Structure formats: C-alpha cells, structure tokens
Structure 1
Amino acid sequence: MGVPDRRLVDSSPAVAGSAVYFSSRDGFLYALNKTTGALLWKYNTGGSDIASPAVSGGVIYSGSGYPNKSVFALNADGSLKWKFDTGQMVYSSPAVSGGKVYIGSNDGTYYALDAATGDLVWKAATQGGIYFSSPSVDAGMVIAAPGDYDLNVYAWNAATGAEIWKTELPNDGRTFVSSPAAGSGRVIIGSGFPAHSLHALDAATGQVLWSAPLGDATAIGYTSSPALTASHAFAGSGGGTLYAVNLSNGDIAWEFVTGGAMVSSPVVAGGKLFAASGDGVLYAFW
C-alpha cells in the first residue's frame, strides 16, 4: 500500500478529494488513494516529521522536523510549490485560513505565510520553544499556546499579527498545553503539568472563565486537545478518562473510563464523538 517502512507515524491524516495525506518520521509525506490505500506519490522531506498536513485549494501544507527547519507547500501532484525556513525544527501543524498559513516553530516563533508564495506576512515571538501545540484561527484571530516554559495563551490579529491579548494559564511551574479549540465565544485549552486541567478563556478578552481539573497528567506531560460542540468540550486525561465538560461553567457533564492514557484528541462528526485510548481501543459515543 506504500505505507512507511516500520517508522513511527505521529501525524494525523488529512483527507481531501480522493486522497489521504500524512507525514512520517521516515522523512516522507505520503499521498494515498483513500479508497484502496494505493500510493499516489510520496515527497522526500528528509526530516523526522510529525506535523499533520493541512490541505486547502488543492495544496498540501506541512512542517518538517530534525534536521530540517522548514514549512513547505506541495502541489496536488506532489511537486514542491514553495519552502520557508524557520530558525528551528517545525513540529507544530499548520492552520490555513484567508490565504495564509499559520504555524509555530521550535524557535519560539509563530509565522504567518502567504499561502500562494510562502512569503513571510508577519511573525510573533513567544517565551518558549513550540513543540506540538498548533494554532487555531477564529473570528479574525490566531490563537496559540506554545507550552514548554511559556505559560501564556496568545491571540493575534490574523491579518497583521498585532497582539490582541495574552493570558497566563492558572498553573504553577512548567506546563505542557494542548492545541487550543475556539468556538461559541470561548477558547478551550488543556494544560498537562503538574496535573491535567481544561481552561476556558473569553475569546474577545482572554479572561479566564473557568478551569476544570481532569485527572492525572500523561506520563510525558502533553494533553489531549479538546473537541467542541455548541454546549460541551470533550477531552481525555492521562488517567484514561474521557470527560464531557459544560462550556458555560466547566462542570463535568459525564465521564467514561478507558483502559489507557488518552493523549490523542477526540473528534466530533455526524453527531457522534470518537476518541482513542492507550488501551488500543477506538471508542464511539452518541
């Protein structure tokens, strides 16, 4: 089927048209036929890649890790459209909106690039390295949380990069954060050290509205990124419990205990909730 040769795949797949796209630590970005799994093409990045690609307008965008330090765009046939070099490895995944690509680099900087040319539009520095947390775009803002030793959540104007607000998460010491999810006027984000908590911020002001403890942190400190509906946020914990949290007040609506740590992020689709656990099981709820 053209899949990687016994190398780790940390990337989440992106599905567009008849193809599935994903990165691998073997240094290739793969395009497979989504019906048959047949290899359509693979692009050699030469990096140990864990970023999840994004597809927009028939173009595939992604980042490349060690020894590379780049963000790149591929045409639908797998040929290189453009490449932009940052100051360090890129493990964050891109968000594409309004003709721009937004992505974080391990150099502590979030970049806004022109989606057509790869030219730099703006960049914003943070106080720490950016590893796996990826930006979200909502209501004309780019919202991001670098994690590592930077305890802040940032919001920038998506067009200009001007800072709108910056809020420190209510946590002590080093914190690892999930990627933010934005909707219904709120930003929901998880922090994973010293314990796993879910936080709600006002999307307009950055004010912390509530924080909900969700059990133990994962062994490596990273947290499940939340999935949102109009009324609830869903996230897993290192203790193996999946939580449904009321968006209005942070109260836990229900919880379900699995047999392993939950590091991956749940997905809401077609009125159903899907979540994977370290026990090797994919769960569906409706």
Structure 2
Amino acid sequence: MRLTTNRLLLIVATCLSVAHAAPPAKVTVATDASSWPNFRNGHELRGVAGAALPENLQLLWSQPIPDGMVYTSAAAVIGGRVYASTLGGELLCLDLKTGKKLWRYLSAPKPEPDTFIPGFPAAPTVSEETVYVGDEDGVFHAIDRKTGKKRWVWKTQAEVNSSAAVVGNRVIFGSYDANLYCLDAKTGKKVWTFQTADRINGSPAIAGNYTFVTGCDQHLRMINIKTGKQEKDMALGSFMIASPAIVGDMLYVGTHDGEFLAVNWKKQEVTWRYSDPQKMQPYHASAAILGDRIVVGCQDKRVHCIDRKTGKRLWVFATRAQVNSSPVIAGNRVYFGSADRNIYAVELKSGKPVWKFRGKSDFNAAPSVAGGRLLIGSEGTQARLLCFGAK
C-alpha cells in the first residue's frame, strides 16, 4: 500500500533538497455538464462544474480501486464513461450509470514477481479518442479511449505526477526529471522539451498560446506552446506542489510555505498574499475559482474561501484532518474530501455545511462532477471510487 502521507513527505523532502512547427494552438475547454475530461475540468484549472448537483446526494455505486487515488488525481468523465487511474497501476474504464467495469489497462502488463507495478499518481486526461496518463516509473501512456489498448508510450527519467493538457495536436505534461514535455498527441513523438531547475509536481495550466508551470524550483514559468521557449520567469520564493489556476491576467496558487498567492502574470507581480500567521501550513490542494471567490484546501485541516480581488478571507470551514483534496464548485456548493475520511459539501457563499458522507478511508483525491454525478476516490487497502447522485 502506498500512503499519501509518505508520498507527500517524499515530495517535500526532494523539493527541499534541491530548492536552495505546428499551427497556432487551439485550446479546447470543457463546458459540457456531462463531461469532466481532466484534473480540474478545463485548461485554466479552475475546478468548476458545468452544472449543479442534486441537493440530496445518495451513493449510487462504488468500485474497488487498488491502493486508491491520491491528491494529484481525479476521475475523468466523457461520453458516459469514467476513467480512473490508481496507485495500484490500473487505469479503469467504468460505466458512469452503473459502475460496471468496461476495461482495465495496466502500467506494466507483465510485472516482476513480488514487485509493485508502477502506480498512476496523476489524473488521466481524456480527448475524443485517447486517454493520457503518467506513472511512477516516468512512463507516459496514451491509451485508446474505447478499447483500452495501448497507442504509444514515452519514457521520461522520473515519476510523472503531472496531469496532461491536450492543446490541439499536442499533449503537455511535467515530470520529476524537471522537464516539461510537449509531444505529438497522435504519435507520441517529441515536439519540444523545456528544462526547469527542479521537479514538476503540478499540472500545466493553459491560457491562449501559453502554458504555465510551477514546481519545486520556486518559479512561475510561462512557456510558448508553439515554440517551447520561455517567455516569462518569475521567482515566487517557495516551492509549489499545487497546480495553478488562471483567470484572465491573474494566476492563483498555494505554496508549501503556507501562503496563497495572486500573481499578475503579464506584469510579473504578486498582487496579494493570503496566509494565517497562526497556522502557516502547506497548500498542496489546487484552488477552485468562480466569480470573485477562491476556495482552496490546506494542511491546517481547513478549507479557505478568499475574495479574489482583495485577498481577504470570506470564510473558513474546519475538518478534523488535512485537506489535500482540491475542491470543486458545482452550482452554489463546494465539494471536497478530507483525510478525516469524510466528503463534504458546503455553501459557496457562507461555508455552511449542507451534506456529508463518512467513508472507510481518507479522501485526498479531488472530486469530479459530470452528468449529475459526484465521483471521488479514497485511498489505502479499502480504497474505492464512489459515485453519488439522485436515486
């Protein structure tokens, strides 16, 4: 069993040890309420669903998932199918309505005896034809969405925790080998690579013809998708495990040092910093943003709602353990998991709790919302992927 706590400690330790010609890109963003194609439902990584969920959610089905799903993961949904990557090295395709298993893809079809096959720590990204996901051994996989058959693989030099962004005919992702990769989405051939100064843990955000990446080198980098050249580089003073979210000229991301930052990426200025001096705990969850509200989980066991314009606190919601699960906004509610083994729904406006489900293990993965269903995976030996909706 691979535990999130151990994985987080390893990530933090390794970061600290190092931290002293295609056509113009056409970006496709999820707006369909029936789908959730990548980690945060769209290239700008805002974590907002296309529609609200039923008020009284009921458990519709659950599916065992080997070793579970961690904080960098979430299920993807497209075409009535659910795609879930697990730390047990399985990519599962399930029927959204019934939870029935349609196919299973293994990171290593013929593992050595008495060894783990490489797990999938990242969320899958799904296009019309292909599922993309990286594994713990640094292999990036492209799998046929309908059949579960391998299309191609690309080998990096270290673990891939980053979920991919598909932009036109290109697929972009980061690796612990400190490189940002851009490959041909159909063939897997390299288009370009960009080397940073340390591990890339989060997923790349996309705005226009640029991709934005943060990581253990403490920098925010803006890379031209067409050329692979760095156009802006801004030191942020702390390494980042979370993925950034973008709204217009602004980028929002939490740091390991316990600050949440609003950055004007065009001006290369930090507009505001949010923190609680009494509880300076890491932000490893990625933020959800709707209108003027930012919602983000923290290892201080709380979920924070921040005014996007001023950086002032609007409300906090306390759980009994770390919140590494990245919140999702659906309608006027916020959904997230906690290491206290609960899944919560609170009002976006006030933070008032409106729904809760008690599970048997920690919920550190991010929820997904599609087709009137809420999906979230737990972790550990009793891990399951749960699907909620109206009965």
> If the length of structure 2 is used for normalisation, what is the TM-score?
0.66
In the other structure, the counterpart of 2:91 is 29
Instruction: Pick the aligned partner of 2:102 from 7, 18, 40.
Output: 40
Deviation at 1:222, TM superposition (A): 5.6
* Cα separation, partners in 2 of 1:2 and 1:40, compared to 1, 3 Å: farther
Residue of structure 2 aligned with 1:86, choices 149, 156, 159? 156
1:208 to 270, 282, 287: 270
Choose which of 305, 322, 326 in structure 2 pairs with 1:265.
326
Q: Which amino acid aligns with 1:78?
A: G
- Name the structure 1 match of 2:220: 153
**2:177 aligned with 1:107, yes or no?**
yes
In structure 2, what is the equivalent of residue 178 of structure 1?
A: 242
**C-alpha displacement at 1:176, in angstroms?**
3.8
Q: 2: CA distance between counterparts of 1:35 and 1:92? A: 28
Question: Which has the higher relative contact order, 1 or 2, with Cα contacts under 8 A spaced 6 or more apart?
Answer: 2
Per-residue deviation at 1:139?
2.2
TM-superposed deviation, 1:37? 1.1
Shift in Å, 1:99: 2.3
Indicate the residue corresponding to 1:141 in structure 2. 210
The structure where helix makes up a greater share of residues is: 2
For residue 217 of structure 1, report the CA deviation from its aligned partner.
5.5
Deviations 1:97-137 (A, max 9, x none): 2222110111100011111111111111111122x311111
Q: Deviations over 1:34-59 (max 9, x none)?
A: 11111111111121221110111131
1:64 match: 135
Distance 2:279 2:285 in 1: 12
| Identity rate, percent | 28
What is the letter of the counterpart of residue 134 of structure 1?
Answer: S
Q: Deviations over 1:53-92 (max 9, x none)?
A: 0111131111111xx3211211121011111111222121
Mapped contact 2:302–2:318 kept (Cα < 8 A): yes
Corresponding residue of 2:69 = 9
Counterpart in 1 of 2:355?
none
Deviation at 1:244, TM superposition (A): 1.1
Offset from partner CA, 1:246-286 (integer Å, 9 cap, x none): 11121112222222211110011233221222222222233
2: CA distance between counterparts of 1:222 and 1:208? 17
Please tell me the residue identity of whatever aligns with 2:182: A
Alpha-carbon displacement from aligned partner over 1:166-209 (angstroms, at most 9, x marks no partner): 111144xxx3431101113210011023xx11101113233211
Structure 2 partner of 1:125: 195
Matched, 1:248 2:315: no
Q: Helix, strand or coil for the counterpart of 2:64? A: coil
Q: Aligned to 2:292, which of 219, 231, 234?
A: 231
Deviations 1:145-177 (A, max 9, x none): 122xx1111111122112121111144xxx343
Kindly tell me: are residues 166 and 88 of structure 1, through their superposed partners in 2, closer, same or farther at Cα, counting changes over 3 Å? same
Paired AA for residue 226 in structure 2: A
Cα distance in 1 for residues equivalent to 2:177 and 2:237: 24
Residues 283, 297 of structure 2: 8 Å contact kept: no
Segments of structure 2 that go 5 or more residues without pairing to the other structure are 1-61, 109-117, 348-391
Whole-angstrom CA distance in 1 between matches of 2:268 and 2:242: 17
Residues 245 and 252 of structure 1 are in contact (CA less than 8 Å); yes or no, is this contact kept in structure 2? Answer: yes
The TM-score, its normalising length taken from structure 1, stands at 0.89
- What is the rounded CA distance, in whole Å, between the counterparts of 2:93 and 2:76 in structure 1? 10
Q: Which residue of 2 aligns with 1:188?
A: 252
Q: Which amino acid aligns with 1:57?
A: E
Superposed structure 1 runs of 4+ greater than 3 Å apart:
1-5, 214-218
Secondary structure, aligned partner of 1:192? coil
| Among 260, 272, 275, the residue aligned to 1:198 | 260
In the alignment, which residue of structure 1 is the partner of 2:15? none
Measured in 2, the distance between the counterparts of 1:31 and 1:205 equals 43
Distance 1:110 1:216, change over 3 A: farther
2:120 equivalent in structure 1: 49
* Contact 1:3–1:39 (Cα < 8 Å) also in 2: no
Q: Does 1:277 align with 2:332?
A: no
Shift of 1:2: 6.4
Contact 1:61–1:71 (CA under 8 A) maintained in structure 2: yes
1:4 maps to amino acid: I
